[in-house]
């Protein structure tokens, strides 16, 4: 199957199947994510697929853990010590202690809040992801204070649940500065939806 053709991978509306699907990203996406890594980082690659990102990250940080639930994607003959692979579902596997940065390259992620909460529970303070906006890679400070949703009025917001959007507000509040700002919020209207 061509990497760009995901037809037939999962039936429409089957969020779990979509999240389990693997498709590699382009070099620019990997390069953007790698740019956030630090030499002293202990990284956890969630939904690592064929480990192509985890192997690149291993050359840039102290240690890399990779979680992948589809064992058939993991290449044979991985050099010992390069990447520690955990096979299983990231929603249920315990995350290793000492992780300093999580990596979630999964534009179609449906469990953002669960992964972010699990990372925080093991002391992780940063998450490199494209899951919230579904496009560019960003570094999310998991320990950043979250503001009330009302603080985003007339501008963009990014919620700890993983939702993003534009919060309505008076037209006179919307200016170039408001359009360039993203307010990190703790709860949003999408949090209440199933």
The whole-angstrom separation of Cα 112 and Cα 90 is 11
* Residue 184 within a domain: yes
* Residue-level pLDDT at 41: 98
At 14, is the pLDDT very low, low, confident or very high (cuts 50, 70, 90)?
low
Regarding whether 106 and 188 lie in a shared domain, the answer is no
Number of independent structural domains in the chain? 2
* Residue-level pLDDT at 165: 92
CATH of the domain at 100: 3.40.50.150
Regarding whether 166 and 134 lie in a shared domain, the answer is no
Mean pLDDT of 169-174: 88
Regarding whether 123 and 155 lie in a shared domain, the answer is no
- 47: containing domain: 15-141
pTM of the model: 0.83
Regarding whether 88 and 181 lie in a shared domain, the answer is no
Regarding whether 114 and 88 lie in a shared domain, the answer is yes
The whole-angstrom separation of Cα 124 and Cα 133 is 21
Mean pLDDT of 156-175: 91
- Is the pLDDT at 97 greater than 70? The verdict is yes
Regarding whether 94 and 19 lie in a shared domain, the answer is yes
The whole-angstrom separation of Cα 29 and Cα 136 is 7
Q: Are strands 155-159 and 164-167 parallel, antiparallel or unpaired?
A: antiparallel
- Is the pLDDT at 128 greater than 50? The verdict is yes
* Residue-level pLDDT at 191: 86
* Residue-level pLDDT at 6: 42
Regarding whether 136 and 69 lie in a shared domain, the answer is yes
At 174, is the pLDDT very low, low, confident or very high (cuts 50, 70, 90)?
confident
* Residue-level pLDDT at 145: 92
Mean pLDDT of 129-142: 92
Regarding whether 23 and 87 lie in a shared domain, the answer is yes
* Residue 61 within a domain: yes
Mean pLDDT of 20-44: 90
3-state secondary structure labels for all residues of the chain: CCCCCCCCCCCCCCHHHHHHCCCCCCHHHHHHHHCCCCCCCEEEEECCCCCHHHHHHHCCCCEEEEEECCHHHCCCCCCCCCCEEEECCCCCCCCCCCCCEEEECCCCCCCHHHHHHHHHHCCCCEEEECCCCCCCCEEEECCCCCECHHHHCCEEEEECCCCEEEECCCHHHCCHHHHHCEEEECCCHHHHCC
């Amino acid at each position: 199957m061509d990497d760009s053709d995901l037809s037939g991978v999962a039936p429409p509306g089957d969020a779990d199947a979509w999240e389990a699907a693997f498709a590699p990203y382009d070099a620019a996406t990997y390069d953007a994510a790698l740019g956030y890594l630090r030499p002293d980082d202990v990284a956890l690659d969630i939904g690592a697929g064929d480990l192509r990102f985890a192997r690149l990250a291993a050359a840039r940080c102290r240690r890399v853990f990779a979680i992948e639930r589809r064992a058939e994607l993991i290449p044979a003959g991985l050099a010992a010590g390069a990447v520690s692979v955990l096979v299983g579902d990231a929603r249920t596997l315990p995350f290793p202690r000492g992780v300093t940065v999580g990596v979630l390259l999964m534009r179609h992620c449906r469990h953002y809040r669960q992964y972010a909460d699990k990372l925080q529970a093991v002391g992780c303070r940063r998450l490199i992801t494209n899951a919230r906006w579904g496009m560019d890679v960003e570094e999310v400070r998991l320990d950043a204070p979250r503001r009330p949703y009302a603080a985003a009025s007339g501008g963009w917001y990014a919620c700890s649940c993983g939702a993003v959007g534009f919060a309505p507000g008076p037209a006179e509040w919307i200016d170039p500065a408001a359009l360039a700002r993203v307010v990190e919020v703790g709860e949003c209207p999408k949090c209440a939806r199933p």
